[in-house]
């Protein structure tokens, strides 16, 4: 591959912008409290969706300052080994989601 050809398998500008956006909305104190709450209230080995994690945390009043932080939280939980993707997708429960499919994770 020459220097002027794009790297089709490497990071893209979109990856960089996504990561920067997640860093902006996911503050360390919220993330730390959320991860501790996940560890305390979701048993190891339990299957959960991001929607279920959000519901549990919200019921316990562990909420971010920005609604976009939920996706960033789940991504960080995966990167940190707290949640493991299963490859399974299920319909979401919230009617506002219009039965959109979401990923299922295993709590590690």
In a domain, 7, yes or no: no
Q: Read off the pLDDT of residues 59-99 as tens digits, 9 standing for 90 and up.
A: 999 999 888 889 889 999 999 999 999 999 999 999 988 99
Residues 7-10: contacts with CB within 8 Å, 24+ apart? none
In a domain, 4, yes or no: no
- Residue 105, pLDDT above cutoff 80: yes
Structural domains counted in the chain: 1
The structure tokens 């909420």 sit at: 63
In a domain, 40, yes or no: yes
Strands 101-107 and 83-91: antiparallel
- 35 lies in which domain range? 13-107
**For all residues of the chain together, what is the average pLDDT?**
88
In a domain, 21, yes or no: yes
In a domain, 5, yes or no: no
What CATH number does residue 54 fall under? 1.10.10
Mean pLDDT of 98-102: 94
In a domain, 31, yes or no: yes
Is 12 or 64 the better-scoring residue by pLDDT?
Answer: 64
In a domain, 49, yes or no: yes
Query: CA-CA distance, 63 to 36, in Å (whole number)?
Result: 13
């Amino acid at each position: 591959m020459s220097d002027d050809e794009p790297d089709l398998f490497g990071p893209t500008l979109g990856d960089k912008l996504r990561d920067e956006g997640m860093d902006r909305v996911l503050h360390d104190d919220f993330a730390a409290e959320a991860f501790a709450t996940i560890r305390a209230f979701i048993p190891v080995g339990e299957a959960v969706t991001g929607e279920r994690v959000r519901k549990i945390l919200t019921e316990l009043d562990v909420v971010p300052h920005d609604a976009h932080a939920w996706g960033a939280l789940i991504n960080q939980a995966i990167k940190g080994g707290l949640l493991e993707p299963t490859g399974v997708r299920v319909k979401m429960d919230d009617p506002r989601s219009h039965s959109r499919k979401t990923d299922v994770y295993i709590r590690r």
